[in-house]
Chains A and B, each alone.
Chain A
Amino acid sequence: MLTSRLSRVGFRIINELSRGGYRCMSRTRFRQGHCGQCQRSPVELLSETRAFFQGAIFQKHHYFSTLGSNNTSGGGDEQKETISVTFVSKDGEEIPIRVPIGTSMLEAAHQNDIELEGACEGSLACSTCHVIVMDMEHYNKLEEPSDEENDMLDLAFGLTETSRLGCQIIARPELDGIRLAIPAATRNFAVDGYVAKPH
C-alpha cells in the first residue's frame, strides 16, 4: 500500500520535473543555460528521483512498471518520454521544444506559446495549423495523410511537397529532431483554395 502510494507520488514528481524541463527551455529562446535544471534530460531527472525514493520502501520493478503503464509506447527505461522538436516561426525564429510522445504538434505549439493557429481545434475542419516539415527524412517517416487531411491541405496557404497539418503529426520516437516551419502569410495570398505551385 505504502509502496504503491509512493510510486504514484514518485511518478507525479517525475512528470512535473519533466514538464518543467521543457517549458523552461521554451522561455529561454534567446538566452541559453538560464535555468540549471533545464540542461538535464528527463531521463537524468528520472534517475535522480529514483535515487531519492530508494531511501523509502520502494521496489525497482514496481517503480518501472508504474512508469511503463503511463508511457504510451510501453516498456523499458531506454524509451524517451519526449522528443525534440524545433519550430521555425514565420520570422525565422528557431524555437526548440520537447514534446511528449502522443501529443500532436498543434497541442505542443500551444503548450509552448508558439503562434500556430488552430481554428477548428484539431478536428480536421480547417487548414490553419499547416506546417512544413523541413527535411525529407522526417517527412517520409510520417504516415501518409488521410483523405480528410489531404482535403484540408488542398486549402492550405503556401502548400509545399512536405506540408502537413500540425494537428495530425503525433510525436513518436522516430520523429525526434523534426523541424517544422510555420508558413508565412504571403501578401498575394490566393482565395478559393487555389494553391500556388509547390516550392
Chain B
Amino acid sequence: MAIFGARRVLWRSFSTISSHPLRVCIVGSGPAGFYTAEKILKTHQGSQVDIIDRLPTPYGLVRSGVAPDHPETKNVINQFSRVAQNGRCSFLGNVALGYSISLVELRELYHVVVLAYGAESDRVVGIPGEDLKGVHSAREFVWWYNGHPYGRNLDPDLKNTDTAVILGQGNVALDVARILLRPTSELAITDIASHALTALEQSSIRKVYLVGRRGPVQAACTAKELREVLGIKDLYIHIKETDLKITPADEEERKNSRIHRRIYELLSKAATAGPSQPSSGQRELHFVFFRQPDRFLESYDKKGYVSGVHLEKTTLKGIGSGKQIAIGTGQFENLSCGIVLKSIGYKSVPVDDLPFDNQKGVVPNVKGRILSDNSGDPTSIENGLYVCGWLKRGPTGIIATNLYCAEETVASLSEDLELGVLASTTRLPKLGRDGLLQILDNRNVRVVPFSAWERIDKEEKRLGSLRNKPREKLTSWEELLKVAGSE
C-alpha cells in the first residue's frame, strides 16, 4: 500500500522531473475523451490536455446518443464540463482529425496523443435489398432525433406505413422503439430535435417489431430500458410464449449472469401479463425471437422502396465456453413493414496512418497502447500513441465502462512515462496548444473553444425555455458556428 502510494507520488511529479510540461492531445470529447482527460490532469500535475472534436459541441454520444427522455443519464455532462473548465484543459471544437489536422502533425505538436473518437459507422447486415429506401441505420435515426448535424437530413418517412421493423434487441433498438411508440406529448417536453418531434406527431406507425436472431435468454438489452419500454402507457406487448422455452444450455447461460436472469424474468412476465389481443387503435410492440433477416423485400407499387423483411427461423448452437450462436433452419417467413431500422452494432472508422482491425472494428492495442500493425505483436508499439473507448474495445458497454477504460489507458501512459519509454519525446518541449492553434488559424479553421460552446449551450436553453423543453438543439453547422462566434 505504501509502495503504491510512493509510485503515485512519483507519477504525479514526473512532469516536473522532465523540465517540460507534458502536453497531451485527446481526439474525441465523448465519455472516453473526458474520463481520460480527467485522469491525466489528476495524475500528472503540470500536464496540459487539449481535447479536439470535429463537432462544435462536446460530449459525443452523451449529447447525440442518449435518448431525449433519459435526461438523468446526461447528468455526467456536469462532471465533464468541470474538466473542460480546468485551467490546464482546453476543448477545441470544429477540429477534425484528418481534415483540419493530421495525426502526424498532432504527434509533432504533442508528447502524447490519445484517440477516443468512438464509432461513427455501422455494422452492415450484408443481405440483398439493404440499400432500398426506408432501410436506415438506427445510429442515423438516433442522430436524427437527437439533432446531430449529420442526422438532420435523414428525413425518414413515418407516414407511409403503420409498421416498423427494428433488427436487434439491444438498448439502442429499445430506444428507437420507445421513441416511435411513446405518446408525443411526453416527448414534446424533452430535448428531442424539433424536426423529429414534428415527424413523430404526424407518424402513422402503430406497430413496432423488435427482431432478434437468438432467444430471450440472449437478449442484449438491459433491465432499466426493458422495464421502461414494457411500461409505456396503453401499449400492447406481444411475446410468443413458446419463445420463452429454456434449454439446458440456456439455463447454463442464465446461471452465470445476473443481468440475463433478470431480463428473462421481465420478458416472461410481460408475455403472460396483459390481454392476448390488442384493443382497437392500441399501439403494439412485438418481440420476435429466433429470426434472422435473409433479404429485404422490395415494394411492387413503389420501386426502390422496402416493403418487408424475409426472415429465416433460427436455432441455437453451442460454440463452447457457454456461448450459443444462431444458425438458420431453412424455414422462412415474411414480415411486412414500411421502414426498417438496423440496430446490430456501431463500427469505428479508420484514420490514415493507423493500423485498423477491420473485423473487430478497433485500433489494435494492448491496454490502450496502440500497436504498429495488425499482427497483434505486443512489442511493436507506437510511441506516444494511445487509444480509449469504443475505438479501443469495440462499440459496447455503457458510459461508465469508459471510466475503467480510461483508467487502464492512463495507467499504461503513466507507466510508460515512469519507465522512460517516452523519454525520447518528453525530453523535448512541444508546441502543444499554441502550435495547434497557429496551424488551424493558418488554415482558416474556425475553432470553437469551450467558452463558445457555452454560448451555444445558453442559446439552446433559452430557445428551449420558450417551448417548455430543457433545450432546443441547434442542428445545422451554420447555426452552431454563428452562435458560437457571436459575442
Interface of A toward B, CB cutoff 8 Å: 91-93, 117, 119-121, 123-128, 147-148, 150-152, 154-155, 157, 159, 185-187, 189, 191-195, 197
Q: Mark B386-427, 1 if CB is under 8 A from A, else 0.
A: 000000011011111101110110000000000000000000
Complex A-B: 28 CB contacts under 8 Å: A91-B4, A117-B400, A119-B75, A119-B76, A119-B79, A120-B75, A121-B75, A121-B78, A124-B72, A125-B70, A125-B72, A126-B73, A127-B400, A128-B400, A150-B223, A151-B222, A151-B224, A151-B227, A154-B259, A155-B398, A185-B407, A185-B408, A187-B408, A189-B401, A192-B220, A192-B396, A193-B398, A194-B257
The answer to whether B73 touches A125, judged by C-beta atoms less than 8 angstroms apart, is yes
Contacts of A152 in B (CB 8 A): 224
A127-B258 Cα distance, complex, nearest whole Å: 15
The 10 closest A-B pairs by CB, nearest first: A123-B72, A125-B72, A191-B397, A151-B223, A119-B76, A151-B224, A154-B259, A185-B404, A189-B404, A121-B75
Contact check, B258 vs A159: say whether CB atoms are below 8 A apart.
yes
The docked-state distance in angstroms from the alpha carbon of A157 to that of B399 is: 12
Is A117 touching B403 in the complex (CB atoms < 8 A)? yes
Across the two chains, which residue of chain B brings its CB closest to A156? B400
B277 interface hit (Cβ, 8 Å)? no
Whether B367 sits at the interface, judged by CB under 8 Å, is: yes
Instruction: List chain B residues, Cβ under 8 A from A197.
Output: 256
Minimum CB–CB distance from A117 to chain B (whole Å) comes to 6
Using C-beta atoms within 8 Å of the partner chain, give the interface range for chain B: 20 to 34
- B408 surroundings in chain A (CB, below 8 A): 185, 187, 189
Minimum CB distance partner of A124 in chain B? B72
**Shortest beta-carbon distance, A24 to chain B, in Å?**
22
Closest B residue to A125 by beta carbon equals B72
How far apart are A119's CB and chain B's nearest CB, in angstroms?
4
B residues near A126, Cβ cutoff 8 Å: 73, 76, 398-400
Residues of B within 8 A of A157 (CB): 400, 404
In the complex, the answer to whether B223 meets A154 with C-beta atoms within 8 Å is yes
A114 to B448, CA, bound (A): 34
**Most chain B C-beta atoms within 10 Å of own C-beta, residue among A128, A157, A159, A186:** A128
Which residues of B have CB within 8 Å of A150?
223, 262
A154 and B258 alpha carbons, distance in the complex (Å): 7
Task: Give complex CA distance A63, B367 in Å.
Answer: 61
Report how far A154 CA is from B266 CA in the complex, Å. Answer: 14
Docked complex Cα distance between A12 and B17 (Å): 48
Least CB distance, A155 to chain B, in whole angstroms? 6
**B5 at the A/B interface (Cβ < 8 Å)?**
yes
Q: Which residues of chain A come closer than 8 Å to B259, judged between CB atoms? A: 154-155, 193-195
Say yes or no: A120 contacts B257, CB within 8 Å.
Answer: no
What is the minimal beta-carbon distance from B13 to any residue of chain A, in angstroms? 18
Cα-based distance from A39 to B258 in the complex (angstroms): 45
A152 to B422: give the CA distance in the assembly, Å.
Answer: 40
Q: How far is the CB of A174 from chain B (nearest CB, A)?
A: 27
Interface centre among B256, B400, B405 (most CB of A within 10 A): B400
What 15 new A-B contacts, CB under 8 Å, besides A154-B262, A155-B259?
A: A119-B400, A120-B76, A121-B75, A123-B72, A123-B75, A126-B400, A151-B262, A157-B400, A159-B258, A189-B404, A189-B408, A192-B220, A193-B222, A193-B397, A193-B398
The answer to whether B72 touches A93, judged by C-beta atoms less than 8 angstroms apart, is: no
Interface 0/1 of B75-104, CB less than 8 Å to A: 110110000000000000000000000000
| Chain B, range 238-259, C-beta contacts under 8 Å to A | 256-259
Give A21 to B45 CA distance when docked, in angstroms. 31
Residues of B within 8 A of A192 (CB): 220, 396-397
B77 CB to nearest chain A CB (Å): 10
The answer to whether B399 and A195 have CB atoms under 8 Å apart is: no
Question: Could you tell me the distance between the alpha carbons of A185 and B223 in the complex, rounded to whole angstroms?
Answer: 23
Asked if B466 is an interface residue, CB under 8 A from chain A, the answer is no
Chain A residues near B220: list those with CB within 8 A.
Answer: 192
- Which A residues touch B223, using CB under 8 A? 147, 150-151, 154
A150 to B73, CA, bound (A): 16
Interface contact A195-B72, CB-CB below 8 Å? no
- Report chain A residues within 8 Å CB of B256: 197
- Whether B319 sits at the interface, judged by CB under 8 Å, is no
Which residues of A have CB within 8 Å of B405? 189
Of residues 10 through 62 on chain B, the ones whose CB sits less than 8 Å from some CB of chain A are none
**Cα-based distance from A147 to B262 in the complex (angstroms):** 10
What is the CA–CA distance of A93 and B85 in the complex, to the nearest angstrom? 30
Measured CB to CB, the closest approach of chain B to A157, in angstroms, equals 6
Minimum distance in angstroms from B40 CB to a CB of chain A: 16
In the complex, whether B1 has a CB less than 8 A from a CB of chain A is: yes
- Measured in the bound complex, the distance between the Cα atoms of B73 and A186 in whole Å is 24
Q: Say how far A40's CB is from chain B's closest CB, in angstroms.
A: 30
A195 CB contact (under 8 Å) in B70, B258, B393:
B258
- Distance in angstroms from A91 CB to nearest chain B CB is 6
Are B257's CB and A195's CB within 8 A? Answer: yes
CA distance A131 to B177 in the complex (A): 33
> In whole angstroms, how far apart are the Cα atoms of A82 and B166 in the complex?
52
The smallest beta-carbon distance between A182 and chain B, in angstroms, is 13
CB contacts (< 8 Å) of A93 on chain B: these are: 1
A120 touches B72 (CB 8 A): yes
The CA of A155 and the CA of B401, in the complex, are separated in Å by 9
Rounded to whole angstroms, the CA-CA distance of A155 and B399 in the bound complex is: 11
CA distance A104 to B413 in the complex (A): 35
Q: How distant is B393 from chain A, measured CB to nearest CB, in Å?
A: 6
- Given A91-B4, A125-B70, A128-B403, A155 and B222 contact (CB-CB distance below 8 Å): yes
Best-surrounded residue of A147, A151, A186, A194 (most CB of chain B within 10 A): A151
Chain A residue numbers with a CB within 8 Å of B72 are 120-121, 123-125
Bound-complex Cα distance A91 to B4 (A)? 8
Q: How far is the CA of A156 from the CA of B407 in the complex (A)?
A: 16
Residue of A nearest to B258 (CB): A195
- Which chain B residue has the least Cβ–Cβ distance from A157? B404
> Chain A residues with Cβ under 8 A from B79's Cβ?
119
Q: Contacts A151-B222, A151-B223; is A191 near B396 (CB within 8 Å)?
A: yes
Identify the closest chain B residue to A92 (Cβ): B1
Report the Cα distance A186→B396, complex, angstroms.
Answer: 17
B36: shortest Cβ distance to chain A, in Å?
14
CA distance A185 to B259 in the complex (A): 19
